[in-house]
Amino acid sequence: MWVLLHHLVNQFPIDGNSYHWIEILAQKGWLGVDLFFILSGFVISYVHQKDFTNRLTSIDYRRFLILRFARVYPVHIITTLSLIPIYLVASYLFAYESPVDAFSLEKLFYSITLTNGLGITNSAGWNLPSWSVSAECFAYLLFPLASFHLFSRPMSIVTNLIACLGLLVGTLVLGYWLSDGSQYMLPWSGTLARIATEFALGCLLYNIYKQLPTHFANRMASGALTFLILLILLQLPNRWDFLFLIGFLFLILGLTNNQSFVSSIMSHRLSIYLGQISYSIYLSHSVVFIVLGAAFKKWVPDGGYQHAGLAAIIYIVTVIAISHLLFNLVETKARDSIKHHFLKGKTHRRQEVQMAIYYDNQSDVTRQNV
């Protein structure tokens, strides 16, 4: 929702009438993607780290990639392909033209193959937010290997904290060096380093979470959220953006304790519902923007629309409605169908392999005892 607000305020044709505090809140909304990368590393570790703790088999690796493909690709391909007729109609009826040539055939290839977020020059286009899905898939490819060789190894809280600090300092030095000290975030060519670093931070954070006593997270979420709001209000230059990443780390860790005030808000039915459809919200909001943006330009004279709040409400309600349909008709059904067709019968084979490994280990123990 933070990313949506960022695009709404900065790109919507009537954004000049929005309230100043909303503009301030939305200014750093693009960093919601970085929060997503860190959170993803934490959640993927929470769910799948145990699969690669003691072994790394082709069966487990394949199963993991199929599960991740089933999770991210269906909504991505539907929203991307939906832009073909939408773009053609918008071009014909509303004379829509992309200011960044986002709808070329070359960029369509990058988007369909999910290679539009790997830092390749002139590859981002069509459904622009999907670049982060492409970058996320790069992290999925590496996770089983990294988890088996690095993240699942016993490390103390201090060691994990030092590793987190090392990653932050490394990207800080690199970002400052590439931008002459003007910004922390890496440029487009450094996208893979950006996703790898932040996803790894999430994995290390999970290791800290496993060892951290519960009471340590009691007030952490509230403090982190207050810290992040303060950073937003201060409107610091881009070279201070690394502070947001630190705030994200403490926020995620604090939210693991469901007794905090912030956790109680996130546990509300509305919050859970928005969380369920959040992926569809993220991938559909740009499509809705193209349609409504072209419509408002056609039907509303420049400067003649005084109800910016109403237009924003129409935009947000439309995004949520479409996301609800995407989640129920595409996201869940496609995920279940892919899992059924590609993993059917694989569970038994996986269990057979696990049993074989178990008995082989037992045989080794028996021989040692003898």
d(CA 310, CA 117): 34
pLDDT band at 308 (very low <50, low <70, confident <90, very high): low
* Domain total of the chain: 1
Q: What pLDDT, on the 0 to 100 scale, is given for residue 365?
A: 45
Mean pLDDT over residues 131-135, rounded?
92
Q: What pLDDT, on the 0 to 100 scale, is given for residue 286?
A: 87
Q: What pLDDT, on the 0 to 100 scale, is given for residue 306?
A: 52
Per-residue pLDDT reduced to its tens digit, 5-36 = 888 887 654 445 556 777 788 888 889 999 99
pLDDT band at 190 (very low <50, low <70, confident <90, very high): confident
| Count of CA atoms in the C-beta half-sphere (13 A) of 13 | 17
Q: What pLDDT, on the 0 to 100 scale, is given for residue 12?
A: 58
Residue 128 phi, psi (nearest 5): -55, -40
- Rounded to a whole number, what is the largest CA-CA distance in the chain? 89
Q: What pLDDT, on the 0 to 100 scale, is given for residue 369?
A: 45
| Averaged pLDDT of the chain | 83
Per-residue pLDDT reduced to its tens digit, 146-167 = 888 888 788 888 998 999 999 9
d(CA 278, CA 295): 25
d(CA 207, CA 160): 7
| Count of CA atoms in the C-beta half-sphere (13 A) of 111 | 26
Sign of CA dihedral 295, 314, 271, 327: negative
Provide the domain limits for residue 39: 2-369
Nearest to 91 by CA among 286, 285, 283, 290: 290
* CB proximity list for 335: less than 8 A, separation 6 or greater: 70, 71, 74
**96 has a pLDDT exceeding 90:** no
State the amino acid at position 229 in one-letter form.
Answer: I
* Between 356 and 116, residue with greater pLDDT: 116
Residue 218 phi, psi (nearest 5): -55, -50
pLDDT band at 358 (very low <50, low <70, confident <90, very high): very low
The alpha-carbon radius of gyration of the chain (Å, integer) is: 23
Nearest to 334 by CA among 280, 259, 286, 262: 280
**134 has a pLDDT exceeding 90:** yes
Q: What pLDDT, on the 0 to 100 scale, is given for residue 66?
A: 92
Per-residue pLDDT reduced to its tens digit, 192-219 = 999 999 999 999 999 999 888 777 777 7
CB distance 225 to 251 below 8 Å: yes
Mean pLDDT over residues 68-80, rounded?
93
**91 has a pLDDT exceeding 70:** yes
